[in-house]
Amino acid sequence: MDTSLFEKNFGLATEEYEALVKYCADNDLPFEIPNRHIAHAAILTNHILRRTRTSVDILTGSMPELFFRAIKTALEVALNAGTKARIIFVNKGTACRDLIELAKKYPERLQIFEIQDAFRENVKRRVCHFCVSDNKRFRIEEIHPDKDFSLDPGIRATASFNHPTEAKSLKDSFTDLVNLSDSIPLPSAPVFSAA
């Protein structure tokens, strides 16, 4: 993963963190890895996606373009390999254009949802954002209010590459949240007549 985007935008050196995460991921280690910054979130999510074989679920408030660019290749590789991905946005209208384009390319494998208006405020106050993969790997944030990540990129979270009990619990929670969500309609491609 190219971490220079984060170094350039936030002045954050990420090489050592990337090496730690890679070591834990490569060795399937079960201990928790701290996450203190949006760059850490992107590094962890990227490594989770690169090891996903069957499914990945992501619950997020929003997905800044910088973050999506950092994970896009890993997500697309996973989708190409047959992984099923579901992403729920808590905040309405925050799915970036590139993610929607990717969902149009992989309509059978990538589903995007938004929490229904009736449940949004309750979910914001009570549910942590997280990513869970193959009932084994996860990254989970502390609950935090809506924030402008361009001003304060700090996010507190933990992750593990081998914690099936916690991963299964998160997967079950995600399935419950899908029931409180609506699919984001994907714009259809323009249709041209043969006239």
Domain residue extents for the chain: 4-144+153-183
Which tokens belong to 110? Answer: 């990538």
Report how far residue 97's alpha carbon sits from residue 99's, in angstroms, rounded to the nearest whole number.
Answer: 5
CATH class of the domain comprising 4-144+153-183:
alpha beta
Euclidean distance between CA atoms 30 and 164, whole angstroms: 9
Rounded CA separation 62/146 (Å) = 9
Residue 74: predicted pLDDT: 96
Quick: pLDDT tens for 73-101.
999 999 999 999 999 999 999 888 899 99
Look at residue 142 in the predicted model and tell me its pLDDT.
Answer: 82
Contact 191, 75 (CB under 8 A): no
Q: Which amino acid is residue 185, in one-letter code? A: P
For residues 163-193, b (16+ Cβ closer than 10 Å) or e, as one string?
beebbeebbebbeebbebbeebebeeeeeee
Q: What does the pLDDT read at residue 146? A: 59
If you search the block for the tokens 């979910």, which residue do you land on?
A: 123
C-alpha 128/C-alpha 140 separation (Å) is 7
pLDDT recorded at residue 195: 44
DSSP output for 39-57: HHHHHHHHHHHHH-SSEEE
Beta strands in the chain (DSSP E): 33-35, 55-60, 84-89, 110-115, 130-133, 137-141, 157-160, 181-183
| pLDDT by residue, tens only, the chain of 195 residues | 555 544 554 445 578 888 889 999 999 988 788 888 888 889 999 999 999 999 999 999 888 888 899 999 999 999 999 999 999 999 999 888 899 999 999 999 999 999 999 999 999 888 899 999 999 999 998 876 555 545 455 677 889 999 999 999 999 999 999 999 999 988 765 444 444
Predicted TM-score of the model (pTM): 0.86
Determine the pLDDT at residue 148: 55
Res 11: pLDDT: 46
